Amino acid sequence: MEELIKIAASQLGIKEIPGNENNPAIVNYAKETGITGISNDEISWCSTFVNWVCMKAGCSMSGKPNARSWLNVGYEVASPVPGDIVVFWREDIHSWKGHVGFFMGFDEDGSTVFSLGGNQGNAVSIKVYDAEKILGFRRVSEVVNIEIPQPVLEKDSRGDEVIKLQILLNYLGYNCGDEDGVFGNKTDNALRLLQANNGIQIDGVYGNQTRGIIENLLVS
């Protein structure tokens, strides 16, 4: 998370150039990430900027210029921390339009959210947005020091071993939400899906058989 913020913050002040001239830094965000269709600094570039930052940090990218593409990257989090990605709807919640940036925090009553992003006031800046327009928070930072938890874990289990399991499930693409050390419904559902996809007993219990499947997935 810190690396994402550090890279994004290094670009603060980069802004569009009025008229026919283009800021080469903004055009370069698209060039380096391989995103097509961003040929000048007048085209919406918020998603392109987030892609560029994630690329520099070695994190997953959406690879697309539209903000809502980030709703399919990483995994959803209910309790965001600075550096998580925040996606907003724009004009209409049911339209394709949106905005994306890096979450920096809420105000005191939670009614607004601070976003560090590109194409905010035509620049890389920190700007305040209406929290009612949030579509979701996503976490894309890389998992470091993956550890295999010890069995047996099941619903209502708590502690560090559950956190390890949740990190692994999210890493493998089975969204269990926040890695909070509480084996709740989301962790149970994610584990059952992993079991179903790998042809073993679907009981929501992390035992030796499920541990073996996870170990195989990590080396495959």
CATH code of the domain covering residue 61: 3.90.1720.10
pLDDT of residue 143: 54
Query: How much is the pTM?
Result: 0.72
Q: Are 40 and 25 in contact (CB under 8 A)?
A: no
Q: How many domains does the chain have?
A: 2
Q: Rounded to 5 degrees, what are φ and ψ at 131?
A: -65, -25
Quick: pLDDT tens for 176-194. Answer: 988 899 999 999 999 999 9
What would the mean pLDDT of 80-99 be, rounded to a whole number?
A: 94
Q: Residue 125 has which token pair?
A: 């800046």
pLDDT at 153 over 90: yes
DSSP letters, 58-100, are: T-----SSSGGGGGGSSEE-SS--BTBEEEEE-S-TTSS-EEE
Q: What is the SS3 assignment for 183?
A: coil
Q: Residue 135 has which token pair?
A: 């579509």
pLDDT at 157 over 70: yes
* CATH number, residue 176: 1.10.101.10
Q: Residue 143 has which token pair?
A: 């998992």
Q: Per the domain annotation, does 113 fall within a domain? A: yes
Q: Residue 47 has which token pair?
A: 């998603």
Q: Residue 106 has which token pair?
A: 């809420």
